[in-house]
Amino acid sequence: MDESTGTVLLNTAHSTYAFRVDRTAGAVRHVHWGLPIPLTDAVSLPLWSEHDNSFAGLLDGTEEYPVDGGARFAVPAFEVRFADGSSPVEAAVQNPVLLQDNHVVIPVEDRSRPLTWYLHYRVPADGDVVQRWVEFFHTGTEDDGDILLVRSASAHWPVPQRSHWRLSSVHGSWSAESRLHRSPLPVGETTLGSRRGHTGHHANPWIAVDPGDTGEEHGEVWLVALATSGSWRITAQRTAAGRVGILACEGHEAAELLLRPGQQHRTSVSLAQYTTGGFGTASRSIHRHLRTHVLPHPGELRPVLYNSWEATSFEVSEDNQIALARRAAALGAELFVLDDGWFRGRDDDRSGLGDWTSHPGKFPRGLRPLADEVHRLGMAFGLWVEPEMVNTDSDLYRAHPEWLLHVPGRTSTELRHQLVLDFSRREVTDWALQWLRRLVRENGVDFLKWDFNRSFTEAAARTGGPDARKVHLEHARGLYDLLDRLRTEFPQLRIETCAGGGGRVDPGILSRTDQVWTSDNTDAVDRLTIQHGFSQLYPANVMSAWVTDSPNPLTGRTVPMRFRFHGAMAGVLGIGGDLTRWTDAELTEAASLIRVYKEIRPVVQHGQQFRLLAPGEGPLTAVQYVHADQVAVLVWRPSTVFGPGQPPLRLRGLEAEALYRDEETGRQWHGRTLMGFGLPLPELPSGDYASALVRLRKTDSAGPDA
């Protein structure tokens, strides 16, 4: 930090993020975000200056945290309404404060109103990620009245000037999540987001921008993500003058928050990074950050899971679950999960949610005998729960209809025959903690599949008022608090986040859970596209993937077991089929493939991931993992294509002078050959839905002239 100019440099492993405090303008001005530069150069770099005229926003696109006030016409990061109805902010910036662990704080205050906010910047060790968030304080008295935070973004990220810009994101819907999409970034405002109360299937809270010529392993990428599990929006602004900035904000445009005198508000964290190594390097960098600084237990190997839903649906019983558990254990499963239908009143999806004790007709002895048998078989025991939801046909609803998220005086809209509980209220999360604590302790539960099967409607705080829609922010925070309390009490408990599949996935929920139910769509072909988009931000050790029956229960597609397994082996392997219908030959093949997965599991779950061939860009899809001295390559050919054979598959991330032995054939290759010429592919089975796994192990260094 250079005190004379107010210039601050944040250095990551491979980049520099620089800004300058401009006390005259009352702003923090962006200087540089890109390749590393020294502080001596940064203090001399000029600030962006737009042509001075009475129609220009002279600071637009150049500020670290633009407020709503003065000659600013772009979307502000911060918008407020004071008690007298006024809204413009006049900022006074103080000197930066350098804290420990590469943490910089910049105090800012309104020149005449009782409001102070602190801009936080932090660079976690050994990575390329910059974290940002903001804290707001109402510093006045009762005489000053309340302050309404209309917009309070986590960060505004200015990016450098380039001639062209392209935007990358994912879009989709239920059972079609994570479709990667790239398109030119137009002049104006491009906003992605969710008004649904959760991150959503239709988009995910991250975007990336590049100059238009970036590839998987080359070129510049600026990636921005938001660690929030409620409603959100990310806006990429491109001005006619050539400035681009990315605004990351929790909540949506109507999700306002009231600050009373003495109260404070802290935003969610936004994280961002820059690389010159293309989209693949950007992904691996974010994967490393999530594993190192976000996930609760990143060093663990996630177990092979069996889930009973597709076998028995709501028709669960102690006997049929024990029968499935015994078959799952014989295959090599390590975790047995009893899904929906196990609790009181739950015979279909119209009743029972909220009454979380075992169904007396299905489990007359309770759940403990099943749990004990699962543990005797050598597996962990898991349960499906949906704590944030309630059916109107439940004792909970009849006792506490006021616990709903709803607008007083309006009809509550049911979706999937259920309503949403208001987790912004402490009495509701206290109730949830009470029954979850009892459930886990009394039944020896090791794992929870935590579901969330509908979006918000009529969502407002029961008390109404100007910040009635704060639940779009506070519901997720109530969930976080509940998860924190539960995991503190039961440190051995592991949790999978689920929202009808991938409807609630973000770095915020991942700091409190262990894996993600990626999609309700288990079709092995569809999953190649879903998993490709998912991997842009999230690592394989959180990506739960099941092998289910064929024909697939959702799509009706018939796919060989080998192809289904190879698709699911690209993440955290699970089994979800009806094992009582599998033939002896299928059970034998499945057991063999599970044994193989356990051998490559450390490589897949803890290794670096390289997306070699993207789905839809040719006849083959391929992904590679590298961990220590092992390499795993998975290749899929969904449909037969007439024409010349596939050229060798050029691998990545190897040591050029090392030898790598194919563990199936014993053939050895130099690393530079595998990356230069490529790996000659094994002959795939004829017909559609062919796949292969290639395992390599580094054996020795061959020397430069070998």
pLDDT tens figures, 626-678: 999 999 999 999 998 776 678 899 999 999 999 999 999 999 999 999 999 99
User: Is 451 an active-site residue?
Assistant: yes
> Do residues 191 and 337 both lie within one domain?
no
Evaluated on CA atoms 151, 194, 499, 396, the torsion sign reads: positive
The answer to whether 450 is a known ligand-binding residue is yes
The confidence score (pLDDT) of residue 702 equals: 58
Query: 612 in a domain, yes or no?
Result: no
| Domain stops at, among 294, 321, 336 | 294
Q: How many CB atoms sit inside 10 A of residue 34's CB?
A: 16
pTM of full prediction above 0.85: yes
The CATH number covering residue 553 comes to 3.20.20.70
CB 405 within 8 A of CB 342: no
Q: How many CB atoms sit inside 10 A of residue 260's CB?
A: 13
User: Is 520 an active-site residue?
Assistant: yes
The confidence score (pLDDT) of residue 523 equals: 98
CB 495 within 8 A of CB 382: no
| Tokens encoding 673 | 């050959």
The answer to whether 162 is a known ligand-binding residue is no
Query: 299 in a domain, yes or no?
Result: no
Give the chain's end-to-end CA distance (angstroms, integer): 49
> Do residues 583 and 678 both lie within one domain?
no
The answer to whether 133 is a known ligand-binding residue is no
The CATH number covering residue 234 comes to 2.70.98.60
Query: 460 pLDDT exceeds 90?
Result: no
> Do residues 231 and 325 both lie within one domain?
no
The answer to whether 487 is a known ligand-binding residue is no
Query: 706 in a domain, yes or no?
Result: no
State which amino acid sits at residue 296: P
> Do residues 309 and 384 both lie within one domain?
yes
pLDDT-based confidence at 468, cuts 50/70/90?
confident
φ/ψ (deg, to 5) at 355:
-105, 80
The answer to whether 443 is a known ligand-binding residue is no
> Do residues 679 and 568 both lie within one domain?
no
- In terms of average pLDDT, the best of 16-30, 587-601, 676-690 is 587-601
The CATH number covering residue 627 comes to 2.60.40.1180
Percent of the chain with pLDDT over 70: 98
> Do residues 364 and 458 both lie within one domain?
yes
Burial class for 625, CB neighbours closer than 10 Å (0-12, 13-18, 19+): buried
Helix 561-568 vs helix 584-606: crossing angle, to nearest 10: 20
Closest CA to 5 of 32, 45, 34, 36: 45
The confidence score (pLDDT) of residue 3 equals: 87
> Do residues 262 and 229 both lie within one domain?
yes
Annotated catalytic residue within 110, 446, 451, 549? 451
List residues bridging with 117 in a β-sheet. 108, 136
Annotated catalytic residue within 520, 523, 526, 549? 520
Q: What is the pLDDT of residues 37-78, one digit of tens each?
A: 999 999 999 987 767 788 888 888 889 999 998 888 889 999
What is the pLDDT averaged over residues 518-527? 98
| Domain stops at, among 581, 607, 633 | 607
Query: 704 pLDDT exceeds 80?
Result: no
The answer to whether 126 is a known ligand-binding residue is no
> Do residues 204 and 267 both lie within one domain?
yes
The answer to whether 581 is a known ligand-binding residue is no
pLDDT-based confidence at 505, cuts 50/70/90?
very high
> Do residues 224 and 320 both lie within one domain?
no
The confidence score (pLDDT) of residue 132 equals: 98
What is the pLDDT averaged over residues 133-139? 97
| Domain stops at, among 579, 607, 635 | 607
- For residues 237 and 256, give the distance between their C-alpha atoms in angstroms, rounded to a whole number: 22
> Do residues 433 and 289 both lie within one domain?
no
Query: 613 in a domain, yes or no?
Result: no
Query: 300 in a domain, yes or no?
Result: no
* Mean pLDDT, the chain, integer: 95
Query: 276 in a domain, yes or no?
Result: yes
- Higher-confidence residue of 276 and 465: namely 276
> Do residues 498 and 368 both lie within one domain?
yes
Q: Provide the 3-class DSSP secondary structure of residue 565.
A: helix
Domain total of the chain: 3
φ/ψ (deg, to 5) at 410:
-115, 150
Evaluated on CA atoms 561, 562, 564, 570, the torsion sign reads: positive
Tokens 């018939």 — which residue?
558
- Tally helices (H) and strands (E) across the chain: 13, 37
The answer to whether 210 is a known ligand-binding residue is no
> Do residues 332 and 276 both lie within one domain?
no
Range of the domain at 631: 621-701
Residues contacting residue 40 through CB under 8 Å, at least 6 positions apart: none
CB 80 within 8 A of CB 68: yes
What is the pLDDT averaged over residues 438-449? 98
Q: How many Å separate Cα 637 from the centre of its chain?
A: 28
Query: 83 in a domain, yes or no?
Result: yes
The answer to whether 249 is a known ligand-binding residue is no
The answer to whether 416 is a known ligand-binding residue is yes
The answer to whether 520 is a known ligand-binding residue is yes
Query: 1 in a domain, yes or no?
Result: no
